[in-house]
Structure 1
């Protein structure tokens, strides 16, 4: 798939984070002459989040390169089926197969350090008498598990400003795997303590992606913004050939 128009880069953040996790990458992409959109993901359900991101993508005039970090990888796997998505880029992310859930993919491999520092909190669900469950990371453990090579003061701010992920998202199955029809790139964070790097490698290899690795914590976009921007730019350049 190719286009003569330069794609817009849509950046999809993951769990326990928000769009500010791309704060150091966005200037790098803009400096390369790219248009960038970084929406807030509701983090309420895989299907709902994917539909929301798909609605954002549909409103972008012209082609899109869809970038997903962490849980955002699962989101772009589904939302990436939109017609104007030309390529997918996964950053330390989950590349689900059609009919597979996050829990199933992760369950194939040993737990990361994240599993022992998760916090579960009820939240009200509109129109339901049953509460939902928010999943977040214990703030004192967040810097080491999530952002070991990020400035400690910044990691502390991120720890107390997390955007939790509803537990429902772990069990929902992807109805489609957009990487089956779209060229895809996958960046592995080889020092990741949030997602087992082998989960990333497995998903990327299964999808036949163009793969690279960087010695990084889970928040690779904040730790290595120039490398991440370069990786995204490679996908953009390939998609307009």
Structure 2
């Protein structure tokens, strides 16, 4: 019976954002009668975050399509090995290989403007020294993250950022689910946070069905929710 059920879409946000960044996409999917869950991504490390996303997926009855934006793409690559996950959708995302880190994948290509505009802070860790987390410098945020989003919106997004643990860049993926699960990918052609070449390379390596949106910023789910939802709906129909 599970194969005939409409898969539940689990939307995994990336760094410097929260689940509200999927609002427009959620509305589109709900309008098509697709069940959706948009969990909070802890943003504390590749292993722990992907374990959390895997646990969310495993507790959903029936098939699941995992969708990852940005750093969320790295998480669905690992969490996608969960038995009931039937498809992976990458949105302006990192698509890692097993044993590869975000830093290694990025390092194959020229760095994006994001790298020189990260702001460091620390956070407490129980029983250990404080750890480092990063956000995007607020003044650089609109151009880097959301150049095609109205200025009034980016002013809010810039101060509502959720920081990513710096250690996440060095952790290696323990699995790459795209070896055994079908994948789809959206490349944001105007991305200033992740070099579009990084998105293209990972998507092609994974054998993903690729859609490229010229001029789209990293915040493509905010600026072009219908295009993002259309790709996800294609994955849902192919796996449902």
Measured against the shorter chain, the TM-score band is over 0.9
1:55-204 → structure 2 map (5 Å cutoff):
55-128=55-128, 130-204=129-203
Distance 1:205 1:51 in 2: 25
Q: Can you list the C-alpha shifts for 1:137-196, whole angstroms capped at 9, x where unaligned?
A: 001110111000011111110100100000111000000000000000010000000000
Matches of 2:50 and 2:126 in 1, distance apart?
20
How many aligned residue pairs are there? 238
Secondary structure (helix, strand or coil) at the match of 1:131 reads: strand
Q: Following superposition, which runs of at least 4 residues in structure 1 exceed 3 angstroms of deviation? A: none
The 1-side partners of 2:169 and 2:118 are apart by 13
2: CA distance, partners of 1:187 / 1:137: 23
Report matched runs for 1:16-27 at 5 Å.
16-27=16-27
The residue that corresponds to 2:207 in the other structure is 208
Q: For the aligned residues, what is the CA RMSD?
A: 0.8
Instruction: Give the Cα separation in 2 of the matches to 1:168 and 1:180.
Output: 26
SS at match of 1:66: strand
Distance 2:203 2:58 in 1: 26
Q: 1:3, 1:218 → 2: CA distance?
A: 33
The aligned runs of 1:31-46 (5 Å cut-off) are 31-46=31-46
CA distance in 2, matches of 1:234, 1:20: 22
Deviation at 1:126, TM superposition (A): 1.3
Consecutive unaligned residues of structure 1, counting only runs of 5 or more, are none
How far apart are the structure 2 equivalents of 1:23 and 1:139?
22
3-state SS of paired residue (1:24): helix
Q: Measure the CA separation in 1 of the matches of 2:126 and 2:183.
A: 37
> How far has the Cα of 1:116 moved from its partner?
1.3
Aligned-pair CA distance for 1:225 = 0.6
- Give distance in 2, aligned partners of 1:149 and 1:171: 30
Shift of 1:131: 1.0
How far has the Cα of 1:3 moved from its partner? 1.6
Instruction: Provide Cα deviations, 1:92-135, integer angstroms capped at 9, x if missing partner.
Output: 0000000000000000000111111101111111121x111011
Q: For residue 5 of structure 1, what is the aligned residue in structure 2?
A: 5
Secondary structure of 1:200's partner? Answer: helix
TM-score (norm 1): 0.98
Give the structure 1 partner of residue 222 of structure 2.
222
2:235 equivalent to 1:235 = yes
